[in-house]
Copies of this chain bind each other. A is one copy, B any other.
């Protein structure tokens, strides 16, 4: 029933749309994505997508949600390297974050840009993935504090906002092509780490 793909009902439009849209977004940017071009490329009529997504925003939210899941996996991979000293792990986390953002700049813009979050247009599905991701950042920060990497005296939530905000800001400077260049990522991260947790009193 799903073997030879005749031209009956296409099979799984929903996933095809997400994939094709992701590809188009990565190639031409979010602004360059139109539902009509997308439908055309997938080979269906303009309004077919509306049977799988309420509107364009819902499609974007679905793509963003997948971006969150992918980043979560990547972050877990980095943070689970318990054999590395905290200092190194922190640096790798920071580098991983910005590299992820710069490898999929349009996706990152979708995940954290105002297109979605500004006027509360996030889907429930998206929130269900994104909010825990935000909370996760606080948990990680608390752990860094416990490891002595960040000062224990500061409030964890505020500290999480600042540390994440810093990564977010650097990522945006790079992917928005403003004042920072992707070839300087590692140097910038090094500078950041040196600035935020410099002493490493226990070692040096």
Contacts and interface: CB of A to CB of B under 8 A. Distances in A.
Contact of A176 (B113, B134, B153, B171): B113
A109 B109 CA distance: 13
Given A117-B177, A175-B114, A158 B134 contact: no
Contact of A194 (B117, B151, B179, B190): B151
A107 interface: no
Number of copies: 2
Interface stretch (A18-26, A38-46, A161-169): A161-169
B196 A196 contact: yes
Contacts of A150: 195
B164 A167 contact: no
A154 B191 contact: yes
22 contacts: A114-B175, A114-B176, A117-B176, A117-B177, A118-B176, A134-B178, A134-B179, A151-B198, A154-B191, A154-B194, A154-B195, A155-B187, A158-B191, A159-B195, A161-B179, A161-B180, A162-B166, A165-B166, A168-B172, A169-B169, A169-B172, A172-B172
Interface of A: 29, 109, 112-114, 117-120, 134, 137, 150-151, 153-155, 158-159, 161-162, 164-173, 175-180, 184, 187-188, 190-192, 194-196, 198
